[in-house]
Amino acid sequence: TENIYTLAIESSCDDTSAAVLLNDKVLSNIVARQSVHEEYGGVVPELASRAHQQNIVPVVDVALKKAGIRKNDLSCIAFTQGPGLMGSLLVGGSFAKSMSLALEIPLIAVNHMKAHILAHFIAEEGFDKPSFPFLALTISGGHTQIVKVNSFFDMEIIGETTDDAVGEAFDKSAKILGLPYPGGPLIDKFAQEGNPKAFPFTKPKVDGLNFSFSGLKTQILYFIQKKVAENPDFIEENKADICASIQYTIINILMDKLKEAVKQTGIKQIAIGGGVSANSGIRKTLKEAEKKYGWKTFIPKFEYTTDNAAMIGIVGYYNFLEHNFSHSDIVSKARIEF
Ligand code: KG4
Ligand code: ZN
């Protein structure tokens, strides 16, 4: 059988990443995180683009070196076409195009959100791959979707957020508490010591399988403002309980919709993906749902939850097998249809 070596490049937001796969196995997965954004409380697109330009060559070099292969061994190059920040996408896209032209190997454009889902097909010891059809909950800083996955190439969004993404709900709540960006992982950390029922926040009423998180953010803001007016040390004294309560409410919102999606589709295989699937509370709740509801849940290896090129590579590999190649004039897209 043939050995397919895929070089994958991901540059949709603020992480520059390159990976090398041998068939469905990851040989290297290098991520250069950008810390320049921390002091701004969010990703600054112009700075992200510039940092990608500085990082891309060394990151690709390290990925090839760590995989122990040379450029000439590569079978194809996969890159993130979108969605994401235009200035960031263009850096990875231009690099991938030039390299595929220079090496005369196929170019494969990949949808970032589909890659978060298909990351489950990376061969990893101790991790099962879902079988089709399954439901995917993709939760990141930019997206919140429930997707019915019929095959590698046939996916259908059956629910999504009408306003903020769940990652934004975490990050904006964290900001209200005075935590640095991105605050999601910090809420997770403090929540582990807190009582999730200390402060009951109400869940929004949204029809069907769609989500809304902007009301929760406002609710938390008003609650904190009122409490701090009464006691300036309120946040410091209750940080763990506040974080646990926020996280608990968000998880309940997600679980309500997942239960509804299972009811509507009859599909009980649930895979999660995206940066927020690193959240320990979500992981625990989903594991418990296996016993509680008879679901089979798929939780990605930690390194494949936040943005990484390995997930782009696995999509590249399956497209390579089908000879789904892209032309070198393909354009990056900040927004992209499924
Ligand atoms: O997928 P991702 O790396 O980038 C996007 O495509 O958006 O997701 C980033 C998001 C951020 O909002 C970050 O706060 C959140 O994922 N996140 C978490 C955790 N780790 C990352 N949110 C809650 N708990 C975590 N442990
Ligand atoms: Zn992402």
- Tens-place pLDDT, residues 89-100: 999 999 999 999
Mutate to test the pocket of ligand 1, among 117, 306, 311, 336 (most ligand atoms within 8 A of CB): 306
Is there a domain that residue 76 lies in? yes
- How many Å apart are CA 306 and CA 112, to the nearest integer? 11
Residues 87 and 218 in one domain: no
Residues 114 and 44 in one domain: yes
Q: Whose CA is nearest to atom 22 of ligand 1?
A: 184
Beta strands in 154-202 (DSSP E): 155-160
Mean pLDDT over residues 267-283, rounded? 97
Starting from the CA of residue 31, give the closest ligand.
1
Mean pLDDT over residues 272-289, rounded? 97
At 34, the amino acid letter reads: Q
pLDDT at 1 over 80: no
pLDDT at 150 over 70: yes
Residues 211 and 284 in one domain: yes
Total number of domains in the chain: 2
Residues 6+ apart with CB under 8 A from 120: 127, 129, 130, 271, 273, 298, 300
Q: Does the annotation place 15 within a ligand binding site?
A: no
Give the pLDDT band of residue 178 (cuts 50, 70, 90). Answer: very high
- How many Å apart are CA 44 and CA 184, to the nearest integer? 18
Mean pLDDT over residues 223-246, rounded? 98
Residues 70 and 216 in one domain: no
Mean pLDDT over residues 111-124, rounded? 97
Is there a domain that residue 335 lies in? no
Higher model confidence: residue 108 or residue 48?
108
Is there a domain that residue 328 lies in? no
| 336 neighbors 86 (Cβ within 8 angstroms) | no
Would you say the CB of residue 185 lies under 6 angstroms from ligand 1?
yes
By the 10 Å C-beta count (0-12 exposed, 13-18 middle, 19+ buried), 46 is classed as exposed
pLDDT at 70 over 90: yes
CA of 10 to the centre of ligand 2 (A): 10
| 140 neighbors 116 (Cβ within 8 angstroms) | yes
pLDDT at 79 over 90: yes
Residues 99 and 37 in one domain: yes
Mutate to test the pocket of ligand 1, among 33, 276, 304, 312 (most ligand atoms within 8 A of CB): 276
Least confident of 34-43, 134-143, 160-169, 207-216: 34-43
pLDDT digits (tens, 9 = 90+) for 23-47: 999 999 999 988 888 788 788 898 9
Q: Does the annotation place 183 within a ligand binding site?
A: no
Mutate to test the pocket of ligand 1, among 16, 166, 170, 277 (most ligand atoms within 8 A of CB): 170
| 189 neighbors 179 (Cβ within 8 angstroms) | no
Residues 213 and 70 in one domain: no
Give the pLDDT band of residue 320 (cuts 50, 70, 90). Answer: very high
Would you say the CB of residue 190 lies under 6 angstroms from ligand 1?
no
CA of 274 to the centre of ligand 2 (A): 5
Would you say the CB of residue 300 lies under 6 angstroms from ligand 1?
no
Residues 293 and 317 in one domain: no
Q: Tokens for 231?
A: 């006691």
Task: Using the atom order of ligand 1, give the atom closest to the CA of residue 278.
Answer: 26
Mean pLDDT over residues 194-218, rounded? 96
Is there a domain that residue 247 lies in? yes
Residues 142 and 270 in one domain: yes
Mean pLDDT of the chain: 96
pLDDT value, residue 49: 92
Is there a domain that residue 326 lies in? no
Would you say the CB of residue 278 lies under 6 angstroms from ligand 1?
yes
Is there a domain that residue 213 lies in? yes
In the chain, the percentage of residues whose pLDDT exceeds 70 is 100
With b for 16 or more beta-carbon neighbours within 10 A and e for fewer, the 282-301 pattern comes to bbebbeebeeeeebebbbbe
Residues 169 and 43 in one domain: no
pLDDT value, residue 297: 98
CA of 326 to the centre of ligand 1 (A): 29
pLDDT value, residue 206: 96
Structural domain for 41, as ranges: 5-118+305-321
